Amino acid sequence: MKNRPNEVVYNLEASKFNWDIAPGKTIEAWGYNKQLPGPELRANVGDTLVVRLTNHLEEPTLIHWHGLRIPAAMDGTDVVQKPLAPGEVFEYRFVLPDAGTFWYHSHANETVQMERGMYGSLIVEDPTDPVFDGDKVLMIDDMKLNSDNEFTRPGWFVPRIVERHDGREGDTLLINGKENSVIDIAAGQTERWRIVNSSSARYFTLHLGGKEFKMIGTDGGLLEHARTLTEVLITPGERVDIAVGPFEEGETILLESLRYSRSTFLRPKRQQFATVNVGEQKASIAYLPETLRVIEPLARQDAAITRKVRLSVGPSLADGMDFLVNGDVHAHDKPVKVGELQIWEVSNTSLMDHPFHLHGFFFQLIEENGKRPEYMAWKDTVNLPPRSKLKIAWMPDDRPGRWMYHCHIIEHHAAGMMAHFELV
Ligand code: C2O
Ligand code: CU
């Protein structure tokens, strides 16, 4: 809904509601505007986004704008904002500095609120974006439901520590809030699909029946060059934009997640999320340029490390396991100075994977286990396999305030694998 030029206004009402994930299969969801996912927000780069959030839940909530380079006060975490009590209204207002695929989600009691559906996408378009025949957002999620389609929480000590250890994964597989969804595409056409992993803990290895697709973008917008792939791993919090097609009329393609072992007690499975149906032939206007954009490197691979961030797990008497950043739960990290290039060594000394997410800033991967990464990209979330080490570079621009980073497996975040720091 456009009001004044350059101002895009949305109202989001957080509430509980019944949602059909399949015909006759109804869950009690929590979400925005009684939709799961919440409304797809779209605007142009440079627009001012205004979102009025009203909390109709019976508990406090907040919205975090995942991946957006906005002022700290708008980041929607409890280190910058008092959570909205039931009945309260808050207006988020900020300029959209970058084009790309972003998302919003609750940042309060996330293991419940996000699991039940409090998320949606925010697509920022640029008039110079490559042209496609269609543009779809696919939000990946899974839910753990009992046979009455209820969200039960593990009550006993052992199931509780297993969920804390592994993150919550369930066998109800959703794309845009629906089980077994059908995605239509016309034969002969090429579309841009923006994939968002909004699950609590699921590692999603996208596979389109072995068909090649082109990865064109990720968290911080377009890559320099498209990468031709048949599968791509998307960990919780990450986004991947792909160009798909052209396909032939009458084809049916499975959209699956391939097996990925993230070294937990969960057995890796190959699972079907959706079916792609190829309809009647249509003309195409899609055009993908050779260079999508130029990304200037922030630092060389050998740049001196300015900070070390170590992710680890340790025993806890009460809960079996604690999830730590530099040996601490919910850590306070040292301040960062505006304008001082940050070279962080992020290491994972544990024996399971963790997706590391930095709020409010894009970083570049400059080294991956001693090697130079295969391609250049702007990221805000990156996976760390067991015993791996990454070097990331990021530039703190003039947006002072409190920021955070954490593991995007929501149960690990809740169990302490997060830190916040002051940008001064
Ligand atoms: Cu999507 Cu604090 O993160
Ligand atoms: Cu983790």
CB of 107 shorter than 6 A to ligand 1: yes
CB of 420 shorter than 6 A to ligand 1: no
Locate the ligand 1 atom nearest the alpha carbon of residue 103 and give its number. 1
pLDDT value at residue 159: 83
Among protein residues, the one with the nearest Cα to ligand 1's atom 3 is: 66
Q: Which residues contact 419 (CB under 8 A, 6 or more apart)?
A: 309, 325, 326, 328, 330, 331, 332, 333, 404, 405, 406
Residue 110, classed as helix, strand or coil, is helix
Q: Which residues contact 32 (CB under 8 A, 6 or more apart)?
A: 12, 13, 14, 38, 39, 118, 120
Among protein residues, the one with the nearest Cα to ligand 1's atom 1 is: 66
Measure Cα distances from 54 to 62, 161, 396 in Å. 10, 34, 32
The CATH number of the structural domain formed by 307-423 is 2.60.40.420
Dist CA 10 CA 32 (whole Å): 11
CB of 412 shorter than 6 A to ligand 1: no
Among all ligands shown, which has an atom nearest to the Cα of 357?
1
Mind listing the pLDDT tens digit of every residue in the chain (424 residues)?
A: 444 569 999 999 999 999 999 999 999 999 999 999 999 999 999 999 999 999 999 999 999 999 999 999 999 999 999 999 999 999 999 999 999 999 999 999 999 999 999 999 999 999 999 999 999 999 999 999 999 999 988 888 888 888 999 999 999 999 999 999 999 999 999 999 999 999 999 999 999 999 999 999 999 999 999 999 999 999 999 999 999 999 999 999 999 999 998 887 788 899 999 999 999 999 999 999 999 999 999 999 999 999 999 999 998 878 888 999 999 999 999 999 999 999 999 999 999 999 999 999 999 999 999 999 999 999 999 999 999 999 999 999 999 999 999 999 999 999 999 999 999 9
Dist CA 47 CA 8 (whole Å): 7
Contact 67, 93 (CB under 8 A): no
- Pairing type for strands 191-197 and 134-143 reads parallel
H or E stretch including 113?
helix 110-113
CB of 354 shorter than 6 A to ligand 1: no
Dist CA 315 CA 362 (whole Å): 33
Domain boundaries in the chain? 7-127, 136-281, 307-423
Secondary structure of 82-103 in HEC code, one letter for each residue: CCECCCCEEEEEEECCCCEEEE
Pick from 153, 155, 151, 66: nearest CA to 116 = 151
Distance 96 CA to ligand 2 centre (A): 29
Contact 30, 14 (CB under 8 A): yes
Dist CA 392 CA 105 (whole Å): 25
CB of 105 shorter than 6 A to ligand 1: yes
Q: Which CATH number fits domain 7-127: 3.30.360.10, 2.60.40.420, 3.90.950.20, 3.30.1300.10?
A: 2.60.40.420
Dist CA 161 CA 43 (whole Å): 42
Q: Which fold has domain 136-281?
A: Immunoglobulin-like (2.60.40)
Burial class (CB in 10 A: 0-12, 13-18, 19+), 389: middle
Dist CA 337 CA 424 (whole Å): 5
Please report the ipTM that was assigned to this predicted complex.
0.97
Distance 197 CA to ligand 2 centre (A): 15
pLDDT value at residue 271: 95
Distance 64 CA to ligand 1 centre (A): 7
Region label for 324, one of left (φ > 0), alpha (ψ between -120 and 50) or beta (otherwise): beta
CB of 359 shorter than 6 A to ligand 1: yes
Would you say the CATH fold of 136-281 matches that of 7-127?
yes
Distance 359 CA to ligand 1 centre (A): 7
Task: Using alpha carbons only, give the angle 259, 265, 269 rounded to the nearest 5 degrees.
Answer: 20
